[in-house]
Every structure is written in structure tokens, then in C-alpha cells.
Amino acid sequence: VAALVALSFSGAIGLTFLMLGCALEYYGVYWPLFVLIFYFICPIPHFIAKRVGDDSDAASSACRELAYFFTTGIVVSAFGFPIILARVEAIKWGACGLVLAGNAVIFLTILGFFLVFGRGDDFSWEQW
């Protein structure tokens, strides 16, 4: 239960950084909220690989490696999106920094979720 509370707290911190990058009066542009799409699609390749891949304990499988590749592309895109918005001056660089900080916290929270609840024991993410 403590891990779940810690993960929800860190997720709230990450979303707070994202909202501050959008809603502060000095920034006032809500384009960075499109990174929420990346947050939602980030775990999808892992879920698909878990379902499609075999249940053996092999060190590597093609399906799992492809899921890592797609997940890495999604995460890199989420970090690149606010930088591109700042380069074309759609958002200010301060908002970009807040969104990047929020990205780091959120993606570490997602990673922590899979490390804590993805072991396949009695209390796993499959129960959710």
C-alpha cells in the first residue's frame, strides 16, 4: 500500500509540473497538454508484448524487444515535443522546462509502477 501511495504522490507532482507549465499566467498556452497522449500510450507496447509474447523466462524475445523500442520512441517523443514547441516559439522556454520536469517525474512513476506491480506475484498490476 505504501508503494501505491508513493506512486500516486509522484504522479501528482509530475502532473503539477505539467499544469504549471501551461496554466501560469506568464505562460498561458495549453499546447504542452498534448504530452498527456504520450503518457497514456507509453505502457501500451508493454501490455501487448505481455499478452502476445510467450511466458517463458527467456532473457530476450523479439516481441519484448520491439515493445522496448516503441516505448523508447514514445518517451523520446514526449521529451522532444515541448522542445520543438519552444523552438518554434509556441511556448516559452520556462514552460518547456516545467513540462520536461513533469515528463521526467511521470515517466519515472510509470517505470516504478511496472517495477513494483509487474513481478507477477499475488499483488500485481494484472489485478487492477
Query: Has residue 17 got a pLDDT over 50?
Result: yes
φ and ψ of 53, to 5 deg: -65, 155
Domain span at 1: 1-18+34-116
Kindly state whether residue 128 falls inside one of the protein's structural domains.
no
Determine which of 36-45, 61-70, 117-126 has the lowest per-residue pLDDT on average.
117-126
Query: What is the structure's pLDDT at 80?
Result: 96
Query: What is the structure's pLDDT at 124?
Result: 47
The pLDDT confidence band at residue 105, using thresholds 50, 70 and 90, is very high
Kindly state whether residue 110 falls inside one of the protein's structural domains.
yes
Three-class secondary structure of residue 6 per DSSP: helix
Helix (H) or strand (E) holding 39: helix 35-41
Kindly state whether residue 46 falls inside one of the protein's structural domains.
yes
Kindly state whether residue 127 falls inside one of the protein's structural domains.
no
Identify the DSSP state of 71. Answer: H
Number of domains into which the chain is organized: 1
Cα 123 to the center of its chain, rounded Å: 22
Kindly state whether residue 26 falls inside one of the protein's structural domains.
no
Kindly state whether residue 124 falls inside one of the protein's structural domains.
no
Residue 14 near residue 78 (C-beta atoms within 8 A): no
Provide the grid cell at 82. Answer: 515541448
Kindly state whether residue 23 falls inside one of the protein's structural domains.
no
Residue 61 near residue 48 (C-beta atoms within 8 A): no
Q: Across the chain, what does the average pLDDT equal?
A: 87
Kindly state whether residue 68 falls inside one of the protein's structural domains.
yes
Predicted structure pTM score: 0.83
